[in-house]
Amino acid sequence: MRFLIILFFVFASSCSLFSQTMKIADNYFEQGEYEKSKAVYQKLFKKSSGSYAYLMGVVASLQELQEYEEAGKYLSEFSNETQVYPNLLVEIGYNFQLQKNQDKAEEYYQLAIEKVIEIPGFAYSIGNAFQKYNLLDQAALSYQKGIEKQSNANYIIQLAKIYGEQGKLEEMFGTYLDLIKEKPNYFYAVNRNFSEYITEDAENEANQLLKNILLKRIQQAPDLFYNEMLSWLFIQQKDYKKAFIQEKAVYQRSSEKSLNKITELAEIASQNEEKEIAKEILNYTIENAAIESQKLRAYELILAIQVAQTNSKKEYEEVNKRFQEVFQQYGRDRTTLGLQLQYAKFLAFNKNDQEAARAVLISLLDERINRFEEARTKMVLADILVLEEKFNQALIYYSQVQNLVPNHELAQEATFKVAKTSYYKGDFKWAQTQLKVLKAATSQLIANDALQLNLMITDNSLEDSTQTALKLFAKADLYTFQQKGEKALHVLDTILLQHKGEKIEDEALFRKAQLLEKLGQYKKAEENYRQMIQFFSDDILADDAHYFLAELYRKQLNLPEKAKENYEQIIFNFSDSIFFVEARKKYRILRGDQLE
């Protein structure tokens, strides 16, 4: 036993020494000291009795020193001794290519491809070796031969990637489509590769090409898969109306008759502020859904949109009546939980009847609901308590949500709301403690919101240790959350008057502009956006100001030329902006370009 322990430590020490020496050799190579790297790699190769990794270090160093014959000798001897590395045929061929002996190089490249024909399992190692030296035609041929002998999804993906690198986009898309049509579970793996070429811009060459391929395939051999892919493409382009046409075709021709994807499309459209098309999609779902849960989910989403678009007392009564009609038809129990949560938010935030809202939620908590449903209910209850400025009670309920569904996205949302509530009450230190936890949030939206709020608190605490302006700003945000727009505007005006020249000024101007726009005071919103652009043109919010001003001109003020000017500013001066693609698309539409 003692002998085995000693042997283990000797072996471990030896491995550690080899690893350290390898790092020294790698470092020499990276610094261009090839004589030194060659010497170290040679020693390692000799001591290891022929390691492939050390061999390639020796060969690479020799090639950099243009000692090609010596490199060829190492490769040939190693290749003759072992048959485990068929990619050495590519390495030998490339060594001849470096010597300008292309005929000899092609001879070995052909031998490598013949190896794939003989043993298809070698396709990856040989194809990868060709790719390493940018020998893309040979790499593609290796994978093609491998696929001919033995269909392999990984080989197909590699072949498609090579087509992309070669600029053969039609072959690339065709290969990917054939794969995911046969093996749908590969869609998400392929989707990441699609995203390298597909953008939000419908005029992008790759977008146009994929669309044409799909339309051609639908004409030649109709298959719902191609309609689904067209829908996916239109969603990437934020053309939800066209996506809806494709989803309807899939639904009408499918034997499953599931409306789940259509409902998901409505949610995506709504999240991207395409409310009218979202309502059209949801009305279609309500009319056609055979399953009660699908219909109720559609009601929940469409009523949420209607609440957001409602302003007058008369409209509130109409929405309230619509809620009551749904409850009368489907009842008030666990099955309508989502609708009841939506109704509670409507009562509290829109009708200003917090007592009635709490009664709805307490009634739900008395039902036999699961922990996720309990967490959702308590989240709304906590939101209402924040609305009433009962911050400590709200924090208790948010904490209960965190404990009910730990590690779930709901728990992360609750953590963000703990931070936001602490921010509202002026406890910035605790807010930042919570926000830092959310850096690793699985929801990108929560992570981004947390980062933005954390940076805002930090930036506006450096110059003002008393955080006077920041406390006012948090108060304005609270009033906005409480839908007390005029009070929020008054606080923002106070900041702009009393803290002029401080870092928070641009944030206050931007918040004020957005709030004025929400309140329908479009000319005043325009004035604030213009002030931001005039005085803070180099600030981080400058592209936001240009974009939202352009949208204001286009949608509300009917000034297309001024909208074009602001979109143009983003195109030419803010190419890294998140609004770049949308700005370019809308600029082209206003210019009169024909977008398909």
Per-residue pLDDT tens digits for 136-158: 999 999 999 999 888 888 889 99
> Letter for the amino acid at 137?
D
Q: Which two tokens stand for residue 148?
A: 């001919």
Return the percent helix, strand and coil in the chain, to nearest 5: 80, 0, 20
pLDDT at 483 over 70: yes
Question: Residue 48's pLDDT is what?
Answer: 74
Cβ pair 409, 387 in contact under 8 A: no
- Other C-beta atoms lying within 10 Å of the C-beta of residue 71: 25
Mean pLDDT throughout 499-518?
A: 92
> Letter for the amino acid at 143?
Y
- Distance between CA atoms of 424 and 477, rounded to whole angstroms? 7
- Distance between CA atoms of 160 and 55, rounded to whole angstroms? 31
Task: State the Rg of the chain over Cα.
Answer: 32
Query: Residue 432 — pLDDT band, cuts 50, 70, 90?
Result: very high
Question: Biggest alpha carbon distance in the chain?
Answer: 90
- Distance between CA atoms of 491 and 473, rounded to whole angstroms? 7
Q: Which two tokens stand for residue 321?
A: 């009546």
DSSP state for residue 87 in the 8-state scheme = T
* 144 class by beta-carbon count within 10 Å (0-12 exposed, 13-18 middle, 19+ buried): middle
pLDDT at 241 over 90: yes
- Distance between CA atoms of 540 and 456, rounded to whole angstroms? 12
Question: Residue 18's pLDDT is what?
Answer: 54
Question: Residue 2's pLDDT is what?
Answer: 44
Query: Residue 32 — pLDDT band, cuts 50, 70, 90?
Result: confident
- Which of 4-13, 37-46, 79-88, 138-147 tops mean pLDDT? 138-147
Q: Which two tokens stand for residue 286?
A: 């309500």
Per-residue pLDDT tens digits for 288-344: 988 888 899 999 999 999 998 887 788 889 999 999 999 999 999 889 999 999 999
Mean pLDDT throughout 469-485?
A: 94
Question: Residue 586's pLDDT is what?
Answer: 87
> Letter for the amino acid at 192?
R
- Other C-beta atoms lying within 10 Å of the C-beta of residue 55: 23
Cβ pair 532, 504 in contact under 8 A: no
Mean pLDDT throughout 332-360?
A: 93
- Distance between CA atoms of 95 and 47, rounded to whole angstroms? 25
Cβ pair 360, 395 in contact under 8 A: no
Query: Residue 47 — pLDDT band, cuts 50, 70, 90?
Result: confident
Q: Average per-residue pLDDT in the chain?
A: 88
Per-residue pLDDT tens digits for 529-568: 999 999 988 888 899 999 999 999 998 999 999 999 999 9
- Backbone φ and ψ for 167, nearest 5 degrees, come out as 80, 10
pLDDT at 13 over 60: no
pTM, 2 dp? 0.76
Question: Nearest to residue 312, comparing CAs of 356, 273, 345, 351?
Answer: 351
- Distance between CA atoms of 102 and 256, rounded to whole angstroms? 58
- The 3-class secondary structure across 226-283, one letter per residue, is HHHHHHHHHHHCCCHHHHHHHHHHHHHHCCCCCCHHHHHHHHHHHHCCCHHHHHHHHH
- Distance between CA atoms of 228 and 243, rounded to whole angstroms? 9
Mean pLDDT throughout 247-269?
A: 90
How far apart, in Å, are the Cα atoms of 379 and each of 306, 384, 409, 417, 439? Answer: 22, 9, 12, 9, 21
Alpha helix ranges (H) inside 463-521: 468-481, 485-498, 505-518
